[in-house]
Chain A
């Protein structure tokens, strides 16, 4: 009896504790979303507003207050985005809110003048060189009040190129001894001279035409506080000046605080110059007082944080489970856009089967992209992505110049596929798999980096489709990121590709599944197919392609350039008359997935994320209420 009393007593204490905790946890604040006239407040459960250093909103500020909380799984090791070792997506997403450039990229993956006052122009000097001239918007300022002018363009270039030799008319700069931690100086190393004509007008000369010139100066550094490359290397990782103040911003937010393992905090830039993005709903100062990026490692915990109001936005890897967990919550809005990352299967043309164009066509006929789309993506992303899948690699489905080059193969065309196989001498075996008298059984290995559930499911769906037509696909993934170095980009595989099998080992892989990134200048894709690029794993060598690629890269007119790249795409996505081509089988663009708490946010700031720009691209748009 005494023990029972003690048990009851203990239960009573536990109950009391629970009630006290419950009472303490009244989250009446949670539902008190701020209005346009509210003082800045917080919307997380019972959380006090994070300390900020933001200056009071100016009279022009349309601020409605509140701190936007974004839960994300990845914490950057530091903020040095350009450092090739640290260039994590999350770092670039945070930079988007803080630094702007001459051109931005909009939801159609097209350039728009960001800090520029209208378009810059490029002129052919007649001697092989080209000069870009442009003007900054007038009255631009950094968040510390210092003018943002052409000195910052020159300063940014000086930082990027410090330690390089000077580019000449004939040769690009040699950047072997460059100081700034930047992996790729393509384009910057072609600038032979750069000049500030006035505080707003500038020009620079390239020693040859560079099709991606609008991508140069995609962010300007504040040269009044970062004078050289060593200083940039020193300050960027922690994003603080020697004084302890944050590096000044030209974007809508200013870096405020970083509590490692917990959160990064940004506050509104009350000197923001405004957004010129065609996607922006609010061209002025940010509505919210700041952004807090909470590092929530577990994806399920992110979803819970969103549902409990401890986060307002999540942007993470698309997963099938999201539809069930979030799609049914009326307070949560799911949104997605066709991202710049696209999945595709690439063929090793040194494989005996795949060297035969009939086999490559057979695979295309057997692949039913629409079935893959409806099984994996349509339930989550509706008609966001083309139902027939992706049919190009240079231009993607949401870009104006996109063409579906593989529409002839749409749907599952088993008879056509088998006719192709039989035309090449393949005979259907008793087990339903084709066999060739000299090449043997039609078994092909497909590999990718293991551990991505959605991608592995995609492989299995395609595997089943191929099996129906008599092709055996063996999934040969390599755990983690080692796949690239061990399979298509292994030294021996690249050597075999470059020598067309005379050297190296052509049998390391058969089919590879990659995710590549598109963009407003698609010329970067060419290295994968060009004969002498050293980065072409396919064993594809075509002088016509090489010449066409050079032509596209040197075409100044934008419309003509777009058409040229589309024609170039046909070389690798379609079978050519000589039997070459059809090196790659694009599958789909990877959707950029995000979800936000629409009960608290009246307006979200995530534009269609065609450039993998992240949830802070139009951060000034987020609004509570």
Chain B
């Protein structure tokens, strides 16, 4: 297994290089801040331009626009290998790594509980729906799932703000949750801050995952070995949870891995609506500000997370199904 993991990790290196090279070429070529300043501030003197050149590291190999993109990329890659992600022009020239680390922690505060809620709820709904196939409850869950899939995240997020922040207050004179920003003065405040963003994150993902789990369960519960298990007189609970669910979850692990890595990478829409100081709004700000170093760092993190969790999913296959041998 170790050799397999090592090979997989090595195989991700070219993938990361291709992904970051493409992004670097796009991101670093879209903006020439010095040219923009010449237009927006015609009376600016040389010190202003020098300041920009210094701020954007335009005199350094990575971002000097007079250098070819590939050589700038090589310089960036060299810095990254040594742990130097540069400084951020959109965050007061603070080190990119410090900012990303702080924001990633905030994103994790949402992502980890959200993932567990999603996984639990989606599994419950998926299994229940499959076991009660074509029942009224199944139809209800199916209908709600489609509604969840169809509903834009921003709409649901704003709806929750209005519902809990305004309507609920009008009805009961209280506001149980914060509708924006992270409040971490106490655990209760934190709980009140994370609830609505987590519910928003949960809705769409649960809707999708529950459909997937339902389909996977249906495939398994109609297989011969399940029929055999029932014929042997095992309780329905054992049949479903011990024999069917375990096999049904094998493909689900991949979905979970992708979803979890996506949550950890930050949700631009949800975090923006709830003004959550995570990676999502940071990425948005960095893109608008053409903050190449910041964009590259976040995208690299997201790429590494996606690849890493896929690897974990592959390794988990062997754990979930001993018939799958990793050679």
Contact = CB atoms under 8 A, between A and B. Distances in A.
B39 A179 contact: no
A509 to B, nearest CB: 14
* Chain B interface helix/strand/loop/mixed: helix
A78 B89 CA distance: 9
A196 to B, nearest CB: 26
Given A22-B176, A304-B180, A307-B165, A485 B36 contact: yes
A294 B175 contact: no
A485 B45 contact: no
A485 B176 CA distance: 50
A598 interface: no
A186 B277 CA distance: 39
B192 A24 contact: yes
Interface in A238-293: 238, 259-263
Given A46-B192, A75-B285, A85-B55, A301 B93 contact: no
A163 interface: yes
Interface in A84-109: 84-85
B166 interface: yes
Contacts of A297: 272-273, 275, 281, 284
Contacts of B3: none
Interface stretch (B18-26, B65-73, B182-190, B225-233): B182-190
Contacts of B14: none
Interface in B65-94: 89-94
Contact of A183 (B43, B131, B154): B43
Contacts of A178: 45, 47
B169 A183 contact: no
Contacts of B40: 84, 484
A163 B175 contact: no
A308 B169 contact: yes
Interface string B171-201: 0101111111111011011011001000000
B169 A27 contact: yes
B35 interface: yes
B175 A535 contact: no
Interface in A47-93: 47-48, 71, 75, 77-78, 83-85
B89 A301 contact: no
Contacts of B273: 297-298, 300-301
B277 A261 contact: yes
B302 interface: no
A24 B157 CA distance: 21
Contacts of B188: 24
A25 B90 CA distance: 35
A11 to B, nearest CB: 11
A261 B103 contact: yes
How many interface residues does chain A have, given as a range?
35 or more
Contact of B179 (A184, A310, A527): A310
Given A22-B176, A307-B165, A307-B166, A295 B45 contact: no
B235 to A, nearest CB: 10
B161 interface: yes
Given A77-B90, A181-B48, A21 B37 contact: no
A21 B281 contact: no
Contacts of A23: 176
B247 interface: no
B112 interface: no
A69 to B, nearest CB: 10
Interface stretch (A2-10, A204-212, A412-420): A2-10
Given A27-B169, A46-B192, A308-B161, A260 B178 contact: no
A85 B177 CA distance: 38
Nearest to A74: B285
B208 interface: no
A47 B183 contact: yes
A257 to B, nearest CB: 14
Interface string B15-34: 00000000000000000010
A297 B154 CA distance: 12
Contacts of B94: 260
A438 interface: no
A12 interface: no
Interface string B297-320: 000000000000000000000000
Contact of A260 (B131, B154, B191, B277): B277
B45 A308 contact: no
Interface string A158-195: 00000100000000000111111111111000000000
B222 interface: no
A30 interface: yes
Contact of A24 (B51, B91, B191, B285): B191
Interface in A1-43: 2-3, 7, 10, 18, 21-28, 30
B48 A304 contact: no
Contacts of B128: 3, 7
A78 B169 contact: no
B43 A184 contact: yes
A481 interface: yes
Contacts of A180: 47
A185 B92 contact: no
Nearest to A82: B48
B162 interface: yes
Contacts of B179: 45, 301, 304-305, 308, 310
A48 B185 CA distance: 8
Contact of B37 (A85, A301, A307): A85
Contact of B192 (A21, A77, A489): A21
Nearest to A184: B43
Given A84-B48, A262-B181, A77 B131 contact: no
Interface string A379-406: 0000000000000000000000000000
Contact of A310 (B180, B182, B282): B180
Contact of B39 (A24, A260, A298, A484): A484
Contact of B175 (A3, A46, A298): A46
B258 interface: no
B37 A294 contact: no
Contacts of A84: 37, 40-41, 44, 48, 51-52
Interface string A560-594: 00000000000000000000000000000000000
A227 interface: no
A237 B46 contact: no
A143 B165 CA distance: 38
B136 interface: no
B161 A296 contact: no
A261 B90 CA distance: 11
A310 B178 contact: yes
Contacts of B39: 484-485, 489
B46 A177 contact: yes
A156 to B, nearest CB: 17
Contact of B158 (A3, A295, A301): A301
B158 A304 contact: yes
Contact of A2 (B90, B92, B237): B237
Nearest to A329: B166
Contact of B48 (A48, A183, A307): A183
6 closest residue pairs by CB, A with B: A25-B176, A308-B165, A261-B277, A183-B44, A78-B92, A22-B176
Given A300-B273, A304-B161, 10 more contacts: A21-B177, A48-B186, A175-B47, A177-B46, A183-B45, A260-B94, A296-B180, A298-B158, A298-B272, A307-B166
Interface of A: 2-3, 7, 10, 18, 21-28, 30, 45-48, 71, 75, 77-78, 83-85, 163, 175-186, 237-238, 259-263, 294-298, 300-301, 304-305, 307-310, 481, 484-485, 489, 527, 534-535
5 contacts: A77-B89, A84-B40, A85-B33, A175-B45, A262-B182
